[in-house]
Structure 1
C-alpha cells in the first residue's frame, strides 16, 4: 500500500557541528525525502528501501539518493536540489546501507561524485566526503527510528513483489532442470560402476598364444577395387597392452608391424571398436616412437587409428584412416593420399582378421580388466561430484521456490503476511 503523505520538521544531530535542520516528507513507494540545512550544507536527500534481485524478501538495506525526484536520470543529468557540501554539489547515490548498523565512514562509492556543468564527473575531496557521510549517517539513523518504518518497507516492496516472484520461479525452474540432468547422470554413472565391478570380478580368460603361421589377406580400396594381398603373421599376444595382438605384415608395398586391440577411449566399461598402433606398441597411447613402424608405398608411417564401433566395419569401410609421416619425435604431417588409401585398406583387413579370432572375447575382457580399476576409481570420484552437485541443485531449487512463495504472499497481502510465510516454510 502507499503510506499517507506526512511532513515533519526536526533537528538532526550532526557530528562535528551544530544540529541539522530537516524537513522530512513521506512519499509514495516507501521513499522519504529529507530537505536539510546546516553549516556549509544544504540540499535534498531521499532514503529508499532497496528491493533487490537476490536480496532479502523484505528489504533490509536502503540507498540514499542525492537530489529530489523519483524518476531515473541520465549519467550526465543533475537532479533537483542536489546537496551542496562546502560549496561542492554532490551527485549520484550511495547504496547498501544497513539502517540498523550504519557505517561509520568510508562508505561512499564511485556513484557519489561531483557532476560539473561541463558534464565531467569529479571525485569528492576528503572533506566533502566526510561531511556527506556524516549527514547520511544522521539521516539514515533518523529514518531507522520512524514509527511507520515497517509501512515504508512494505510500500517499497509490494510494487516489485510479483516481478520478484517470477524471477525466483525462473531460477527454480533452471535449478530443477539441472537437478534432473544430474540425477540422470548419477544413474548412468551408477550403472557404469556396477558394470565395472562385475568386470573386475569375472575370472580372466587366457587368450590363445600367437600363431606364427602366415595368413594371406586381400586388400580392397573404398570402392572395392583390388589392391593386392599381404601376408600376415602373429608376432605376439601383447602383455604390454593387454588384449592386443602384434602383427607383422609384408607384401603389396606394405612392410612392418601393427598392434591391434580394443578402442578404450570411450565411457563404456567393456571396450568396443578397434585401436591400431602403427608399429610394435609397448603402451596403449602416447607412444611416440615405436619399433618396426610400417612402410607403405615406401613411406614410413606412424600414429594410431581409433574406430569407435565395429558395426560399419567392412573391407571397404571406413573409407579413410589416419596415417602420419614423422618429422621429429613428436611432430609430423599427413601421409600422401595414395599412402593413406593403402594404409586404410591394410588397417581394415587387419581389424577384420583380429575380430575373427576365436579368443576375441578373452582379448576384450583382458582389455576391460586392464582399465577397470582406474575407471572404477574415476567413476567413484565422478559419482561423489555428481551427488554433491545434485544435492546443491535440489537445495537451490527448494530455496528459490520458498522465495517465490514468500514474494507471492507479499504481493497478495502485506509484509507481515510474507514474514509469516517465511516462518511457516522455514
Structure 2
C-alpha cells in the first residue's frame, strides 16, 4: 500500500475535554493533510516536514500551512479551504515546530494572520489560543503515525540533490581553507626559522658616535637645490636599537632627527627606513620628543615610514609627511613650502644613514632587539593557525559526511537506511 493511499478518520483530544474530528490524508513529498469539521473549527491544515539548508539530514521540524494545496502561494493570496476558527479566517503558516517538543506557550509565527481585503490582521487572543490547541493536537497525531520515517524520507528526497550540492560546496570551501592554512603554517615555520637564526647570530660591531660635522646638500623633487645642512651624530644605537640620532642645522632647518630601519613592518629582518622628527627615546608611543626640529620656523613632529630603500634618492619619494602639533593629540599638515623642505631633509638623512659602513650591523641590532617579540608572536600565530586548520578539517569532514547522507536519500530505501539517516543536528 502506498503512502498516498493512507486516508483515515480520527477524533483527536482537544483542550477543554473536547474532541477534534479530522480526516487525514497523506499527500506527496511527505505532507499530511488534516481536514477539520467540528464546532467553531472548520478548514484544512497541511503539516509539512521542513527540509532546510543547514538543518538535519532528515527533516526535524514541521511547518503548518493554513489551507489546502501543495503549490506555491503568495502571502497575499488565499488558499482553498483556509481554516475558520470562531468566525475568523486563518491565513499563512507557522513554522519551526519541533514535533517532539511542542511549546506549551505561545508559538504561532508572524506569518499566521487573518487576510481580509488584502490587509493582514493579527489574530485575536481567543483565536490564537484555540489555533495553537488545534495545532498541538494535529502534531501529536502526526507524531504517532506508524510510517512517520517514510514520510520524512519522502519529504527529504525532492531537495536532497540540491542540499547535497550545497554541502559539497561548503566542503570544498573548507578544504580550500585547509590548503590556505597549510601554506600559512609553512610560511610561519619559515619565519620562525629566520627569527631563531637572527637570535643566534653574533652581534656585529657598531661604529661609535662621530661628532664631526658633515655637510649635505638638499634638493627638491625636481633636483633643484634647496641649500645645505650641517649634520652631526648625537647618539648611535643607544635608546632605540639600530638607530642614529642626527643634529641638523642650516638651510632653515634646526633640530634633531632619529634615523633607523623600518621596524614597523612584520619582517624579522627590517627593511626600508624610518625617520622620526626629534630625539627618539623609545620605539613606540612617543607623543612628544626632545629637540623636535623646526623647518622654515615651523616645529614638526611624527615621522616617516618607508617599506623599501629601492626607490630612495635625494629627490624621491616626492610627498613625505610633515605634521604640526596643535595639542598633545591633535595637529595638522605643515605648509607646502615647509613640507617640501622637510621631505628633502628626510630623504638626505635616510641616504646618509644607509651609506654608513656599519649599516648592516645597525640593521642586525634592530632585528635582534625585536626578535624575541617576533618569536613569541610567530609561535602564537602557529598555534592559532593549527587550531583554525583543525576546525576547517572538521568542517570539511562534516560537510562531506552530510553530502553522502543526502545522496543516500536519493536511492531506494534499503534495510537499515532509516537508522543510518536519523535526524542529526
TM-score normalised by structure 2 residue count: 0.93
Task: Tell me: CA distance 1:92–1:217, structure 2 relative to 1, closer, same or farther (3 Å).
Answer: same
Q: Which residue of 2 aligns with 1:39?
A: 39
Q: Which residue of 1 aligns with 2:269?
A: 270
Q: Which residue of 2 aligns with 1:164?
A: 163
Q: Which residue of 2 aligns with 1:96?
A: 96
Task: Tell me: CA distance 1:78–1:164, structure 2 relative to 1, closer, same or farther (3 Å).
Answer: same
Q: Which residue of 1 aligns with 2:340?
A: 341
Gap runs ≥5 in structure 2: none
Inter-partner Cα distance in structure 2 for 1:400 and 1:269: 39
SS of alignment partner, residue 76 of structure 1:
coil
Inter-partner Cα distance in structure 1 for 2:369 and 2:415: 65
SS of alignment partner, residue 106 of structure 1:
coil
Does the aligned pair in 2 maintain the 1:409–1:417 contact within 8 Å?
no
Inter-partner Cα distance in structure 1 for 2:327 and 2:158: 70
Quote the offset at 1:203 in angstroms.
3.0
Residue by residue over 1:176-222, the C-alpha shift from the partner in whole angstroms, topping out at 9 and shown as x without a partner, is 22222222222222222222232223333342211001112222222
Gap runs ≥5 in structure 1: none
Superposed, 1:231-380 pairs within 5 Å as 231-380=230-379
Residue by residue over 1:292-347, the C-alpha shift from the partner in whole angstroms, topping out at 9 and shown as x without a partner, is 22222232222201111111212222122111222222222222222222222221
Bigger shift: residues 102-111 or 151-160: 102-111
Inter-partner Cα distance in structure 2 for 1:265 and 1:409: 55
Q: Which residue of 1 aligns with 2:117?
A: 118
Task: Tell me: CA distance 1:404–1:418, structure 2 relative to 1, closer, same or farther (3 Å).
Answer: farther
Superposed, 1:59-70 pairs within 5 Å as 59-70=59-70
Quote the offset at 1:381 in angstroms.
2.4
Superposed, 1:130-141 pairs within 5 Å as 130-141=129-140
Bigger shift: residues 258-267 or 8-17: 8-17
Inter-partner Cα distance in structure 2 for 1:211 and 1:418: 86
Task: Tell me: CA distance 1:75–1:375, structure 2 relative to 1, closer, same or farther (3 Å).
Answer: same
Quote the offset at 1:38 in angstroms.
2.2
* Aligned Cα root-mean-square deviation (Å): 2.2
Does the aligned pair in 2 maintain the 1:278–1:304 contact within 8 Å?
yes
Does the aligned pair in 1 maintain the 2:149–2:418 contact within 8 Å?
no
Quote the offset at 1:224 in angstroms.
2.3
Quote the offset at 1:160 in angstroms.
0.8
Task: Tell me: CA distance 1:416–1:167, structure 2 relative to 1, closer, same or farther (3 Å).
Answer: farther
Does the aligned pair in 2 maintain the 1:197–1:376 contact within 8 Å?
yes
Whether 1:214 and 2:189 are equivalent positions in the alignment is no
Bigger shift: residues 293-302 or 237-246: 293-302
